[in-house]
């Protein structure tokens, strides 16, 4: 398993599951920060058509480009499904945001060889590492 620093350095395209177009939502601010760090953001939310200037997709399976990391803003009970989808699209890492943990999602990701991070904010970790 790669370190958080390796995951963040080696990932270029991040699918953000649950990304909202509402600037008051944490997902929006964090995704905007990730864009400013140079990552390609792919919004995944069936209720959105575009977020932060990027076309939104209803599911990970609909994304037409390779995704390195799947960053999740969903309730814990919804994450096993996201983990299965992340495996199916060939992502290399699954990251559950602060406050989100799920043993089943972890087991699915780890069994498939994905790097797994949970209950941490990707933006905070990026800043702490000074990347």
**Residues 70-95: b if buried by 16+ CB within 10 A, e if exposed:** bbbbbebeebbbbbebbbebebbbbb
Inform me whether the pLDDT recorded for 1 exceeds 80.
no
CATH of the domain at 58: 3.40.50.720
Give residue 102's domain range: 4-129
C-beta separation of 18 from 72 below 8 A: yes
Distance separating alpha carbons of residues 71 and 93, to the nearest angstrom: 8
103 conformational bin, left if phi > 0, alpha if psi -120 to 50, beta if neither: alpha
Closest CA to 62 of 75, 77, 49, 52: 49
Inform me whether the pLDDT recorded for 18 exceeds 90.
yes
pLDDT on residue 131: 81
The position carrying tokens 């037409």 is 64
Distance of CA 117 to the CA centre of its chain: 10
pLDDT tens digits, 28-58: 999 999 999 999 999 999 999 999 999 999 9
Question: What pTM does this model have?
Answer: 0.96
pLDDT tens digits, 81-96: 999 999 999 999 999 9
Number of structural domains (the chain) is 1
Closest CA to 4 of 107, 100, 130, 122: 122
């Amino acid at each position: 398993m790669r370190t958080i620093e390796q995951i963040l350095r080696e990932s270029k395209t991040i699918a953000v599951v649950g990304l909202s177009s509402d600037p008051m939502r944490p997902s929006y601010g964090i995704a905007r920060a990730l864009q400013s760090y140079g990552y390609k953001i792919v919004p995944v939310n069936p209720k959105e058509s575009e977020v932060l200037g990027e076309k939104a997709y209803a599911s990970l399976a609909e994304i037409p480009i390779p995704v390195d990391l799947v960053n999740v803003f969903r309730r814990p009970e919804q994450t096993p499904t996201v983990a299965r989808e992340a495996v199916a699209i060939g992502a290399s890492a699954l990251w559950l945001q602060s406050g989100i943990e799920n043993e089943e999602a972890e087991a699915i990701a780890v069994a498939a060889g994905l790097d797994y991070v949970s209950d941490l904010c990707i933006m905070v970790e990026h800043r702490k590492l000074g990347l």
